[in-house]
Chains A and B, each alone.
Chain A
């Protein structure tokens, strides 16, 4: 859908008072620029550390290349310090721009689509309203009064219907604008951070050690997903925190230089504190999120959803068991690969501290499209009925309470993201289950 909508042609959003119009800017370009800056920031850190290593280490055949080596050693310390400062500037600004560009790209598409619809509907409303206003009410003594009055009422209804149609999309535009503006404000806040001003003056920020485990041990409640689309990661992490908290502790090494290394099966990834998302979750979650973002190559990829099984593979190695609620040739070959058949495997995995993730997609439990990944935290019997306990990584089930209850679920009161349901209802309600072997 093309075309730009100018202000004043599509009405005004009531809540924000914003003229409905297209959004200018090229967020994809911003995302790419931010990604590049963020990458340069990481490279600067890496090279700075390598230079310091060169300064303090011995070089092969140093005896032969003595003079050149002396020069090199004398020059690296200053460069390393300057690189550390440049990195402290590039990395957070790049990350903030990358996140803004990624998120804004979707908002812009939605805002511009809605603006076009609003413009069309606003014009229709204006046309019908003008026609209605230009007509005069029939006089009571008019011989065609009844007919003319019916036509006038019909015209009035058409005007109101046109307004309602516009108002519906104007509200959607308004709500999308509000969400976008929150992202914009977040980016402005990041780029206005007073710490950046100190860095620009040549002062490196003090690295305050993180409190990785605020509750002593990792706990599922440490996971509290915000606006980033990484339920696929968080649902697995909450499961490990519940069943095998030491596994989380073993996954992370706090380094002496203030960085943190996450030991994925396909390689260690080291992150600085300024690379971590500022999303209010426990620091161990933020560290793994920061490292997984590097693992995925970009914030865009990280934020764009993913497969819990891929996360399990990165943490445990090997493939996870996948169960769905569709019958097919694979079920026939294996003698059963449905969620219904997975009760024993789920119980076995949970009893051995391995994560189990349930996926609701394509409208299941009200989760549209690719859906949402939730953690299965417990499998137990109650009065002879097999039950499961599930936790939403949002730390709530906001907007889905009704769908969960309708599917047989019982939510905690107050809602803390947990709910229980019989295993039979669970097998019907969810689209797939992924079980760490």
Chain B
């Protein structure tokens, strides 16, 4: 593998890191947002199903939400390390 075979550039990595941060925020806010959406759905004409389904849309996946946040935070950190090491060295040259 050589440095000449460039496929991924650092702007793309930076963009991925920004997107990951957006997703982490969305995942962290998921319970509150689901609660708000369920509240906004309300129980029109005493119909309860949609409110319940929206409020608990994560269901069994809820336990994996924290895992995903942790995993994304790790990846975001690794990307930062790659970018920082690149630009750190770049300043030397």
Name A residues whose Cβ lies closer than 8 Å to a Cβ of B.
18, 21, 23-27, 29-30, 33-34, 36-37, 40, 43-44, 46-47, 50-51, 53-54, 57-65, 67-69, 71-72, 75-76, 78-79, 82-83, 85-86, 89, 93, 97, 100-101, 104, 177, 180-181, 184, 187-188, 191-192, 196-197, 199-202
* B70 shortest CB reach to chain A, Å: 10
* B40 shortest CB reach to chain A, Å: 4
A-B pairs with beta carbons under 8 Å apart, 28 shown: A29-B37, A30-B54, A33-B36, A36-B26, A47-B16, A50-B16, A58-B5, A59-B7, A59-B82, A61-B3, A62-B1, A63-B2, A65-B89, A67-B85, A72-B75, A72-B79, A75-B78, A78-B71, A79-B68, A79-B72, A86-B65, A187-B50, A188-B49, A188-B50, A191-B50, A191-B53, A199-B61, A200-B60
The residues of B that contact A79 with a CB separation of less than 8 Å are 68, 71-72, 74-75
The residues of A that contact B64 with a CB separation of less than 8 Å are 82, 85-86, 202
Contact B8 A26 (CB under 8 A): no
The residues of B that contact A188 with a CB separation of less than 8 Å are 49-50, 53
Contact B82 A72 (CB under 8 A): yes
- Beyond the given A40-B23, A64-B89, A85-B61, could you list 11 further A-B residue pairs with CB under 8 A, ordered by the A residue number? A25-B43, A26-B39, A53-B8, A59-B8, A60-B86, A63-B3, A67-B85, A68-B78, A69-B82, A79-B74, A196-B59
Name B residues whose Cβ lies closer than 8 Å to a Cβ of A.
1-3, 5-10, 12-13, 16, 19-20, 22-23, 26-27, 33, 36-37, 39-45, 47, 49-50, 53-54, 57-61, 64-65, 67-68, 71-72, 74-75, 78-79, 81-82, 84-86, 89
The residues of B that contact A199 with a CB separation of less than 8 Å are 61
Most central of B1, B2, B5, B75 by chain A CB within 10 Å:
B75
Q: Once the chains are docked, how many angstroms separate the CA of A89 from the CA of B57?
A: 8
Most central of A59, A100, A104, A197 by chain B CB within 10 Å:
A59
The residues of A that contact B3 with a CB separation of less than 8 Å are 60-64
Contact A29 B58 (CB under 8 A): no
* A46 shortest CB reach to chain B, Å: 7
Q: Once the chains are docked, how many angstroms separate the CA of A39 from the CA of B84?
A: 29
The residues of A that contact B60 with a CB separation of less than 8 Å are 197, 200-201
Closest to A82 in B: B68
Contact A24 B68 (CB under 8 A): no
Contact A71 B37 (CB under 8 A): no
